[in-house]
Structure 1
Amino acid sequence: MSHLANKNIVLGVTGGIAAYKTPELVRRLKEQGANVRVVLTRGGQAFVSELSLQAVSANPVSTDLLDPTAEAAMGHIELAKWADIIMIAPATANNLAKLAVGIADDLLSTIVLATTAPIAVAPAMNQQMWAATVVQQNLQTLRQRNVHIIGPDSGSQACGDVGAGRMPDPLDLVAAAVQILAPSPQLLANKQVVITAGPTREPLDPVRYLSNRSSGKMGYALASAAAAAGASVTLVSGPTQLTTPAGVDRIDVNTATEMLDACQRVSAKADIFIGCAAISDYRAAAVATEKMKKSEDSDALSLTLVKNPDVIATIAKTYPQLFCVGFAAETQHLKDYAQRKLKDKNLQLIIANDVAGNKAFDQDQNSVTAYWHEGEKVFPEQPKRQLADGLIALISQLFNHAN
């Protein structure tokens, strides 16, 4: 049964372009068994229709504090008491400011003041607005009041800017609601966990590089799940557009060599190492100091590549006390290749996923099979954050058995 089964969620939708994602968010929450009531602000009505939100939630949408029909039964108090959690997504800079100082001039802000349920906000705004001092001060005030801040993500924005301020994906918001309402057992309390995530980039010249299609979503989901399970988590990340999970220390790297150096520095006192990054197998033998120009005399370009260090194999050999977990992304002979890597790299567990046809890279869901020396376990397709919870539970079980 889902952790959100029969949970009552009030979803506040404020006036940002990210409101277009909210019907999908409602649908995903309903998939998990939640009851959803939407409160749509006047600004939110400019971006998403009341009718669409009513259709996906199967409940009337509330819009007005001064609705005589609703307020005859004290509608804002009723919703405040009904909610197991109030989630505001998107939460604009204006909405955050109102919450921080306690303004109650519409239905949503009044419900927030009248509830004892946990409150979560998913900020969404222009990157410059997000960076504004007053916005960050308001967020700090909300954190001090135990308001859960989800995101934002980074990337291209509707205005054309690039940076932090995007509302997280609906599946990430669902995972956050699960974590708030049904916190993970402290399976890894007092444990030090190092996780690698994302791709690496191997430069060819000042403007080009070799890389791959990894988004880093699985590694970041594992970092979030491990932190929720009580671990002290260090995330060594290649280039991604993802937000650092709450409670996680992040080290940014670009190349495979940089990733190995960072992992060696932080693994000496670790208990568990999870190598989820998609590390480039090769790098250029020599990096051009100037941009390589297209030749007019030939249609071909030859590059000399050399092997990169095998990060997880090196870490497993250097720190034999570590419980090492690897990932195997394969397009064929999945079990054979995964079990060979498990043995050859001296790992305790390997997570294998079939990436033929781009089944895993940059996707929000995945299915994997875990192999260890005494067994295997299949994890059917599910959201990566939910999958991460299952993998962390398995890792904890095998780690405790080994120790």
Structure 2
Amino acid sequence: MKINYADMTNHLGSSAVRDILKITQGKDIISLAGGLPAEELFPAEAIRDAYSRVLSGDSSALQYGLTEGYLPLREQLAARLGQQGIPVSTEEMILTTGSQQAIDLLCRILLDPGDTVLVEAPTYLAALQVLGSYRADIQVVKSDEEGLLPEHLEEQLRVHRPKLLYAVPTFNNPSGATWSKVRREQVVELCRKYGVLMLEDNPYGEIRFDESPEAYPPTLAAIDRNLGGDTCVVYTGTFSKIVAPGLRTGWIIGPAGLVRVIARAKQAADLHSSTIDQRALHELLLSFDLEAHIRLVSREYKSRMQLLSAELVSQNWQDTSFLEPRGGMFLWLSLPARIHTAELLPLAVEQGVAFVPGEVFYSEQPMKNTMRLNFTHTRPELLPLAVQRLTTALSRYEERLLPL
């Protein structure tokens, strides 16, 4: 039988990252491709104990729950966010099935086909997929090492009158870059001036390589709420990077009226996220030192990042550069302009290493000589071998470019 799919399916792009994971699974390939945390660092025993305590009580954890999420967990989360400079009530928050669903739900209630959304370049691939599925008109705002350029942002705000500005300003996926405090303040001021909502996606913000409390700028949400009045920043985060992604629990915060509309959209999507997972997270936070765990994870990831960085430097590749991130999970590598990393990838897989070609993180005018490397999932002892394999693949690629 021929199935007549909806027109919107023509705008559902496949995830390049997931496609790469498929071809590398079960093979002797060191994958620097997926944005995966390290399984060996998951607090598995503490999580197991938390589920045990939940299930040793009554069976209500197995029942349907509130669309907004388990209230005691929302209260815990509100307290944590308050400590991070983001004062928020439980009425301004909804728990989601990971922060990915939060992005989708916000776009679902805001965007009509053709509505403009501003993004930075490069930006999170799955966000581009969501925006594409709602047939948004995606427009890029130019940026430098400090963040979005205020002059170009104002021009885009004035010309396009966008519905939304989407950004990952802290340890960006894929570039690893972090906006300066001044640039964050300028962006918030401009969004307020033009009455444009901004979605601050912050899944990596707590994975910090400098433990000094003054080392990093405040979130956009903290700056926005500190100004008082109507807020323009909607903020999303997740437990996936600081606890474990299998718990599939994220959150989105914003004005209470906006959250109520998101709740209606979520009811239509899945009624609510997993009750038992939320109850287990609540139990975990009661007895587990999450802050100490985040410090442990951050120190290990910093060590792996430094190891990968040193290995890349040791190769002495010509005309190659990268930003050494101050946190997060990714290193962004720029190669000579003659190298197309999407064409390099099959050669790398033949050698036993994988990465994500940088072009998939652009909505337009991609930088085809870039790649994203994940340093958190691969065990440290394998990182030197991964770089050696990448060097071999590059040599093979360069040989193909030589004239016959």
- TM-score norm. by structure 2 comes to 0.28
- TM-score norm. by structure 1 comes to 0.28
Please state which structure has a larger fraction of its residues in strand.
Answer: 1
Please state which structure has a larger fraction of its residues in helix.
Answer: 2
